[in-house]
């Protein structure tokens, strides 16, 4: 029997069970909206593992399980919007990964959480894009997504708030987000690997969480197909706000 199997058995403890619960919630949100997994999983998992481990763990699980979502998304996404964002993200991902390896995790969590809450507040008050940004503006938004994606697996907030502020239909927005994640996952993964962030222990834990996350992802995607379209933007904004509050380091004392 493979040694990884016995290592997995040894790792099944209260911490892994907590991570499994976070994976259920994160997978459901990801399947429904196309984003939000990191904003749910990373803060919850960071309460039991160090934030760096939480980021890598989610990356391994999500990058593997969401592959079947890519082909349908590639067919209906707007490549005119997705491609410039992905190019911008590619440039800044290495810097984000560097920050992840050297910066204080609690400071990063404060900055990200506050930024998400500010953006969600703007949209909730009725902010919308008056016109499509020009190419430099779109590249800059992609760069912001690459930076936050590399340092905290949080590529979602900049691009989600970019697309939710526009006028595209919910299915196209969701496909755009999934396609963007698919393209940038490769760049982020290479950067993580070059920085030696993948470990055997994290790979084994990810293996345990994959089927749980996959089931939750399917349930969320099923919910999206039957949910009324106007519900999409409201649900997405609520997800961002709740996740940002959960990401605040102020909760750490209660969760540890």
Low-confidence ranges of the chain (pLDDT < 50): 1-2, 255-256
Model pTM score: 0.78
Per-residue model confidence (pLDDT) at position 98: 92
Q: Render pLDDT for 74-86 as a digit per residue (tens, 0 to 9).
A: 999 889 889 999 9
Interior angle at CA 173, CA 74 and CA 236, nearest 5: 130
Number of neighbouring beta carbons within 10 Å of residue 250: 12
Interior angle at CA 27, CA 162 and CA 91, nearest 5: 40
The structure tokens listed for 215 are 């089931």
Per-residue model confidence (pLDDT) at position 189: 93
Assess contact for 138 and 163: CB atoms under 8 A: no
């Amino acid at each position: 029997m493979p040694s990884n199997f016995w290592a997995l058995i040894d790792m099944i403890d209260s911490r892994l069970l907590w991570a499994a619960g976070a994976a259920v919630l994160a997978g459901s949100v990801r399947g429904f909206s196309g984003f939000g997994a990191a904003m749910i999983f990373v803060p919850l998992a960071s309460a039991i593992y160090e934030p760096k481990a939480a980021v890598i763990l989610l990356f391994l699980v999500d990058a593997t399980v969401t592959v079947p979502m890519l082909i349908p998304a590639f067919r209906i996404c707007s490549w005119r919007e997705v491609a410039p964002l992905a190019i911008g993200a590619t440039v800044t991902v290495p810097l984000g990964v560097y920050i992840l390896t050297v910066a204080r995790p609690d400071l990063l969590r404060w900055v990200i959480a506050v930024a998400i809450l500010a953006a969600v507040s703007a949209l909730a008050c009725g902010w919308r894009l008056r016109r499509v940004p020009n190419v430099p503006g779109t590249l800059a938004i992609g760069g912001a997504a690459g930076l936050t994606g590399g340092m905290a697996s949080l590529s979602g907030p900049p691009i989600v708030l970019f697309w939710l502020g526009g006028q595209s239909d919910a299915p196209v927005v969701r496909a755009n987000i999934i396609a963007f994640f698919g393209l940038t996952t490769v760049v982020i993964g290479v950067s993580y690997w070059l920085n030696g962030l993948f470990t055997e222990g994290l790979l084994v834990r990810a293996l345990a969480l994959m089927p749980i996350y996959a089931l939750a992802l399917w349930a969320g995607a099923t919910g999206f197909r039957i949910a009324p379209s106007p519900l999409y933007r409201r649900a997405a904004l609520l997800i961002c706000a709740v996740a940002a509050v959960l990401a605040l380091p102020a909760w750490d004392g209660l969760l540890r």
